[in-house]
Amino acid sequence: MPNWSRGKGPDPSKFDPFTKSGKITRRQEQYNLLHEAGAPSEPENWGIDVRKSLPEFKYMTFDVVGTLIDFEGGLKDCLAGIAAEAGATIDGEEALSLYRAARYSKDADLFPDDLVRVYLEIAPKLGLPAEPKYGERFRDSTKNWKGFADSAEALARLAKSCRLVAMTNARRWAFDLFAQQLGNPFYAAFTADDTGTEKPDPVFFEKVFDFVGSEGNSKDDILHVAQSQYHDIGISRKLGLANCWIERRHAQKGYGGTIEPAEFTAPDYHFTSMAALADAVVVARG
């Protein structure tokens, strides 16, 4: 086992990156990719025994909101606009914390319709007008949410080597708008409307497994890509699904607008951007 220094991945000089055939092995590939991404000091906390090399996966399934679409930026921009009109100011991270608590209550409805209720709950705490018209504006802001700067280009590159499948807790009407933002790269898509549930419910994932099975493949052919430890990475590990954590908030503290998991789950692959994942596929392909 290599020596790991705090905040850095394994020292690549400790490894011969090639086999006798001149191709990177799966385990060596994983060490190299973790080194590029930066890994924590304890190697046993990371899933380094990957069953397939990145180019071998036939499907990549994607969380959409938070991984590909910048929902935190969209929420904060909308709230800041309402605050400016009301002569107030808000703290973006405080707003995300309040949003997170309200969104994951027992009264929650499907996303993003639920944003009307969420706004009316958090508005008084932020000093904003608690009127239904602003709640509707909060919900409708989803129509203007943008993809992260690297999302569309990375997806276009990845679509050349595997089938991309969206797995989103958003309703179909919202997903269709998000997909347009991303260049409509998906081979198939599963929404809260299609599955009748939301991640991390295993039923959501089982719907996707059934779809892949109908094409003569299995969950072993899937790499699940997501930013949420709570909704995606933890449950994918429990279901025996290979995963890739896109740590969008790597430069920020806390979990932002996403619920904090009960425990951190070691991902099989870890990158801080979609661009880095797309680059890694190219490198691994050779």
Query: What gap in Å lies between CA 226 and CA 64, rounded to an integer?
Result: 8
DSSP letter for each residue of 48-108: ---SS-GGG-SEEEE--BTTTB-HHHHHHHHHHHHHHHTT----HHHHHHHHHHHHTSTT-
Where b means 16+ CB within 10 Å and e means fewer, 42-58 reads: ebeebbbebeebbebbb
3-state SS assignment for residue 276 = helix
**Is 49 one of the catalytic residues?**
no
Both tokens assigned to 223? 């790499």
Catalytic hit among 11, 16, 49, 63 = 63
Angle at 52 between CA 66 and CA 276, to 5 degrees: 40
C-alpha closest to that of 143 among 112, 117, 187:
112
DSSP letter for each residue of 117-159: HHHHHHHHHHT----HHHHHHHHHGGGG--B-TTHHHHHHHHT
Q: Residue with structure tokens 């018209």?
A: 133
Query: What gap in Å lies between CA 207 and CA 193, rounded to an integer?
Result: 12
Write out the catalytic residue numbers: 63
